[in-house]
Amino acid sequence: MTTTPGFPGRRPGTARVTRRKVGVSTTIPSDGSHPASRRSPGQGASGAANAVTRASGHERGAPDRALLDSGVVWQDRGISALDRCTIVVVLKDRFSTTGKCLESLIGNTSGPYELMVVMGAVPAKLQKRWRERFGDTVRWHFEPKFLNPSEYRNIGLGLTRTPLAVLIDNDVYVRPGWLEPLIQCQSETGAAMVVPIMLHEENEIHTAGNDLYITYRNGKAFGCKELRYGRQSYFEGCSLEREKTDYGELHCQLVVAETARRLRVYDEKLREIAEVDSGLIWTKAGEEMWFEPKSVVHYDFPGRISRAEDIAPFLFKWDTRAIVEGYRYFEEKWKMDITEGGKWPEYLVFLNSKLGLLPRACPNAFGIFLDRICRTLRAVVVALVKALRSLRARMLGRGAWERP
């Protein structure tokens, strides 16, 4: 990931977009999030392939043997669209987005599916509220403590009884008709994993597939995440086409459940960067990953943490020490530095700043209240200073330069 503080979905640096067919490359200054980068056509899905050695004797895209034996593979390539899919919603970093996420899924998903929620350390009052609101529409699984996102995903996969599973964070909202294109893409390509267009605002792309860019220094590999078409506008459909991807963002993935379980694609030792790790695992096993542009979902990037119920999960998810341990583990596992040349730590500080110091010291509603008061006072002071500077400039003749 290459990200700069400020924009959800990019790390420090510059967003670079290569437009199809026209061949024009436009550099867009990034303002604080993951730098999204798009390679020219035909270059996708090569970084991960070059980073690992494919398992011998396994043809990329070939359906899993267990699925073939079970008779659920369609035309020897994918799984029948008539088979039910399990949608597994896992905790990201806030409880408060769960209700809207489930409403979005229930309201915008057609066809047979099973909806499951897997979370940890959920307060009893929230469990009660959700059960009363959604009832038996959702299959609930609550763990007694917070777990890494990969642990939630593996629990969900273990409970999945369908050939396909969608693993989706609880801060993702889907658009109508989002599921069928993912299933169709899997059926037609035999992909082990498929991802949709991911928006981070109502009409702005977070990523449309991903590339893993790798460079070398003194024989050591340095990996960088590239988010295709990041920050480009999206309205009602687009010209993007289905294509392979080096890995898929974990916000929303459709996977062949048995293959994911067999390969153990979600490493439970990683608090972060599991998306790249899983992409390398899929690639090493000779499995294909695809991007499907007809499926669109929306990722709710966290603003200031303003609800007491979100403090604990946010602190757990973005715990710096745990994330550092995961990055070092990843580097040892793949012999690759994935800190974006040192830019990721800056982004992690930016992300952690979403939760103020007062709520950290006093992790309850009172801490949130004090934080809100301090931010309001700060905004007033900043506005006064700005007004005084403007007045001073005019008194010193700045207005003389204005044309009548």
Condensed to tens digits (0 to 9), the pLDDT of residues 124-180 reads: 999 999 999 999 999 999 999 999 999 999 999 999 999 999 999 999 999 999 999
Q: For the segment 299-322, what is each residue's pLDDT rounded down to a tens digit?
A: 999 889 999 999 999 999 999 999
Q: Is residue 2 part of a domain?
A: no
Question: Rounded to an integer, what distance in angstroms lies between the CA atom of residue 263 and that of residue 268?
Answer: 13
pLDDT digits (tens, 9 = 90+) for 359-404: 999 999 988 988 889 888 888 898 889 888 888 887 887 777 677 6
pLDDT > 70 in the chain, percent: 78
Domain interval for residue 103: 54-210+231-299
Instruction: For residue range 59-91, list pLDDT tens digits in order.
Output: 334 434 343 333 333 333 455 554 679 999 999
Domain final residue, candidates 265, 299, 333:
299
218 within some domain:
no
97 burial type by CB count under 10 A (0-12 exposed, 13-18 middle, 19+ buried): buried
- Contacts of 18 by beta carbon, 8 Å cutoff, 6+ apart: 24, 25, 38, 39, 40
Residue 226 within a domain:
no
Q: Are residues 262 and 375 in the same domain?
A: no
> What is the count of structural domains for the chain?
2
Q: 193 and 291, same structural domain?
A: yes
Q: Average of pLDDT values for 1-9?
A: 34
Residue 8 lies in a domain: no
C-alpha separations of 278 from 71, 130, 227, 334 in Å: 27, 31, 16, 11
Q: State the pLDDT at residue 340.
A: 82
Residue 215 placed within a domain: no
Do 389 and 244 sit in the same domain of this protein? Answer: no
Report pLDDT for 32.
41
Residue 173 lies in a domain: yes
Task: Give the end of a domain, one of 275, 299, 323.
Answer: 299
**Whether pLDDT at 5 is above 70:** no
Q: Give me the percent of the chain exceeding a pLDDT of 90.
A: 65
Q: Are residues 283 and 376 in the same domain?
A: no
Q: Indicate if 372 and 284 belong to the same structural domain.
A: no
Which of 176, 157, 330 has its CA nearest to residue 247?
A: 330
- Same domain, yes or no: 65 and 176: yes
Q: Which of 239, 274, 299 is the last residue of a domain?
A: 299
SS3 248: coil
Residue 205 and residue 298: Cα distance in Å, rounded? 9
Q: Is 378 exposed, middle or buried (0-12, 13-18, 19+ CB in 10 A)?
A: exposed
Q: Residue 70: which H helix or E strand, with range?
A: helix 65-70
Residues 97 and 186 in one domain: yes
**pLDDT value, residue 38:** 40
Provide the CA 121 distance to its chain's centre, in angstroms.
22
Whether residue 291 is contained in a domain is answered as yes
Same domain, 386 and 281: no
On whether both 191 and 287 belong to a single domain, the answer is: yes
From 240, 171, 153, 180, select the one nearest 205 (Cα to Cα): 240
Confirm whether 122 is domain-assigned.
yes
